[in-house]
Amino acid sequence: EGLALLNGTQASTAFALEGLFIAEDLFASATVCGAMSVEAALGSRRPFDPRIHRVRGHRSQMDAALAYRHLLDTSSEIGESHTNCEKVQDPYSLRCQPQVMGACLQQIRNSAEVLQVEANSVSDNPLVFAEDNDIISGGNFHAEPVAMAADNLALAIAEIGSLSERRMALLIDSALSKLPPFLVDN
């Protein structure tokens, strides 16, 4: 009985699924923080215009831009301040969020698909096919799909962190953000 638990991909899949759930939560939190950063830095809403993302064609980028549009109220004082704004463009860490986060979302979605298949698969060895009265030794125990899904999650998490770090650097630099140094008055 122990071999059935150790020989397949059950443990690695469970750990990868835990990572997936954490990555999904991190993605959602980082999207909210990204929108708040646009708001705090008096950033433009124009980089989230659906036309920009539609012409590129990446579904996850379009979905990320949509999430930002939902979070950024264009009728706010900050949103209205950019109606006839002379500023040409915001820093990359603000205006490229849909592109970066969209790519991360795609990796999270791909990993979710792989892990869902794996969680519902048979990865024991040998496999018994009772209907055919056959026992076959194979390689379904190999966890390469799980490992690659986990690696892609790690890549997405690293990119989310990198973008977040760049936004924080922008916000705490008073010369760039026009906010108090390190976001404190004293």
Q: Max CA-CA distance within the chain?
A: 78
**In the Cβ-directed half-sphere of 8, how many Cα atoms lie within 13 Å?**
17
Both tokens of 103, joined, read 């790519």
Tens-digit pLDDT profile for residues 29-48: 999 999 999 999 999 999 99
Number of domains present in the structure of the chain: 1
Alpha carbons 108 and 26: distance in angstroms, whole number = 11
* Percent residues over pLDDT 70 in the chain: 91
Mean pLDDT to the nearest integer, 174-184: 88
Lowest mean pLDDT among 9-18, 81-90, 99-108: 81-90
Query: In the numeric block, which tokens belong to residue 61?
Result: 């980028």
DSSP state of 59: H
- CA 148 to chain CA centroid, nearest Å: 16
Residue 186 — pLDDT band, cuts 50, 70, 90? Answer: confident
Give the pLDDT confidence of 151-173 residue by residue, as tens digits: 999 999 999 999 999 999 999 99
CATH of the domain at 47: 1.20.200.10
pLDDT attached to residue 173: 93
pLDDT for 85 equals 64
Place of tokens 């040998």: 126
Q: Count the Cβ atoms, other than its own, within 10 Å of residue 130.
A: 7
CA distance 90 to 87: 8
Kindly tell me if the per-residue pLDDT of 81 is higher than 80.
no
Domain extent at residue 158: 2-183
pLDDT over 80 (residue 75): no
Q: Is pLDDT at 6 greater than 80 in this prediction?
A: no
Lowest mean pLDDT across 33-42, 82-91, 141-150: 82-91
Cα 26 from chain centroid (whole Å)? 7
Q: Cβ atoms within 10 A of the Cβ of 19, count?
A: 17
